[in-house]
Amino acid sequence: MTIQDVAKAAGVSPMTVSHVINDHPHVRTETRERVLRAIEELDYRVNVAARNLRTGRTGTIGLAVPEIDRPYYGQLAAEIIKVAAGHHLRVAIEQTGASREGELAALALSRNRLYDGLILSTVGLGPADTDLLRVDHPVVILGERIFDGPVDHVAMPNSAGARAATRHLLERGCRRVALIDGPQRGEVDVSSLRYDGYREALDEAGLPFDPALVAPIEQLTMERGAAAARRLAGSGAGFDGVFCVTDTVALGALRGLADSGLRVPDDVKVIGFDNIAEGAYSVPSLSSIDPDHALMAGTAVGFLVKRMAEKGAARQAPREFVSPFSLVARESTG
């Protein structure tokens, strides 16, 4: 059974069959369907393992994220899959569980050539692990600004975004702004950077920092966000605004504030970070910082594809991209 047999059965050229198999664009829907049907009917199979051995490519890139069921990562993955498909690449998703070990395993797998390259969202790996990233296998780090590192990096505007979010609460009249903060694991993780932005905005406004207004949580989930909001409400610390380290945490906080009998935005104003789709539909809808997921996803895949095309001595210096952001004001800040 050859590609010629499929072409004959479908009434197209072998080149067209090849285009369909390799998922090229510019094949008409009707033609594609006819070829796919012929492939099914003739039970034709490309010997992918043999082709991989010949080309040294698998056509698959890895995407390692802490957990795919968090809306932020789900929405980022959907964008990355879409952009990768435009480069004829499929995406295999690894869940690292936000652990250093899970991230190391994803790196090792990718280097073992299961993937042509890897987009790695680092949460567990820290600055001390920089050396482990000195590899000639294509890797793009996505997310925190952990590494001034040896690999390409697409970063969030963490501090600047957090500063803008906190400033927005102050501009809306808040004077006692609380922070629901994630786990701080070092100087340059996402929670520490957003904490810095929060502090900077208070300083700028000449407002004192009150540790009683900071509620740290261990996991960036709705459950922990709700519990932290209830804790803040019950502490008697007194607050009229909350900046939450992520939107998922903020959606939980909206729930926790309702449980505590506090009205948003009348009693307390709330803002998150990430601009996940759910925030536009919550009651009240959620104000947020939008770091432009589509641009980040497109840039990360673009960096990786460039790396995959480079050979040996032609290798370029690490590329770095910090996404711009915008503030999205909705009902939760009045």
Which stretches of the chain bind a second copy, using CB under 8 A? 21, 23, 29, 32-33, 36-37, 39-40, 43, 45-50, 52-53, 56, 58-60, 67-71, 74-75, 77-78, 81-82, 85, 90-95, 101, 104-105, 107-109, 111-114, 132, 135-136, 222-223, 226, 251-252, 254-255, 258, 277-278, 280-283, 285
- Beta strand ranges found along the chain (DSSP E): 60-65, 90-95, 118-120, 139-143, 152-155, 177-181, 214-216, 241-244, 269-271, 288-290, 320-322, 326-328
- CB nearer to a second copy: pick between 135 and 322: 135
CB of 117 to a second copy, least distance (A): 14
- CB nearer to a second copy: pick between 35 and 164: 35
- CB nearer to a second copy: pick between 46 and 207: 46
- CB nearer to a second copy: pick between 39 and 164: 39
Instruction: Please tell me the number of Cα atoms within 13 Å of 247 on its side-chain side.
Output: 27
- CB nearer to a second copy: pick between 36 and 205: 36
Cβ contact 248:222 at 8 Å: yes
CB of 49 to a second copy, least distance (A): 4
Residue 206 per-residue DSSP state? T
Four-point Cα dihedral 112, 115, 117, 119, nearest 10:
-110
Q: Where is 229: in which H helix or E strand?
A: helix 222-235
CB of 56 to a second copy, least distance (A): 7
- CB nearer to a second copy: pick between 207 and 258: 258
Burial class (CB in 10 A: 0-12, 13-18, 19+), 333: buried
Alpha carbon distance 275, 298 (integer Å)? 17
Alpha carbon distance 290, 317 (integer Å)? 29
- CB nearer to a second copy: pick between 45 and 211: 45
CB of 164 to a second copy, least distance (A): 25
CB of 316 to a second copy, least distance (A): 20
Looking at residue 189, its amino acid is: D
Question: What are the tokens at 239?
Answer: 């607050």
Measured between alpha carbons, how far is residue 174 from residues 114, 136, 170, 326 in Å? Answer: 51, 50, 5, 20
- CB nearer to a second copy: pick between 207 and 308: 308
CB of 281 to a second copy, least distance (A): 4
CB of 93 to a second copy, least distance (A): 5
Cβ contact 116:92 at 8 Å: no
CB of 52 to a second copy, least distance (A): 4
